[in-house]
């Protein structure tokens, strides 16, 4: 019988990955890969709504994936650890090879409107 990590550790890992599992949060982290940005800058870079960005940033900060620094009435956010970018890079590399599968992964994803590719 194999020994798995404790349920608590598994849950923590899941939580960590959940930080990466949303397109909006990924956009934000991709934006921060080039260096610190202000909330408003992130809003412009990503095209997301300001409350939405603030919410995701708060989430990412709570999870330790980004860190914040206040300058006047601006708050500069940045990736908190080189390994965050490293994870993004590793995902890129993996994606390059398994993308064919991911395209069709609709098991836990309703087919909805068939998501016509546009890009």
Partner DNA sequence: GTATAATATCAGCATCTGCTGATATTTAGC
Partner DNA sequence: GCTAAATATCAGCAGATGCTGATATTATAC
Residues that bind a second copy (CB under 8 A): 1-2, 4-23, 26-27, 30-31, 34, 44-46, 55, 58-59, 61-65, 80-81, 83-84, 86-88, 90-95, 97-109, 117-119
Angle at 108 between CA 102 and CA 109, to 5 degrees: 75
- The CA-atom distances, in angstroms, between 103 and each of 58, 114, 116 are 30, 11, 12
Nearer to DNA, 73 or 100 (CB): 73
Q: Where are the beta strands (DSSP E) in the chain?
A: 37-38, 66-71, 74-79
Instruction: Find the shortest distance in angstroms from Cβ 97 to a second copy.
Output: 7
Instruction: Find the shortest distance in angstroms from Cβ 48 to DNA.
Output: 6
């Amino acid at each position: 019988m194999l020994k798995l990590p404790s349920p608590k550790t598994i849950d923590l890992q899941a939580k960590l990955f959940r930080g990466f599992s949303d397109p909006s949060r990924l956009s934000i982290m991709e934006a921060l890969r080039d260096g610190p940005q202000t909330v408003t800058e992130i809003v412009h870079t990503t095209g997301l709504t300001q409350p939405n960005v603030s919410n995701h940033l708060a989430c990412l900060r709570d999870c330790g994936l980004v860190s914040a620094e206040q300058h006047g009435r601006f708050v500069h956010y940045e990736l908190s650890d080189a390994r965050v970018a490293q994870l993004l890079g590793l995902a890129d590399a993996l994606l390059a090879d398994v993308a064919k599968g991911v395209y069709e992964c609709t098991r836990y994803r309703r087919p909805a409107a068939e998501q016509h590719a546009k890009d």
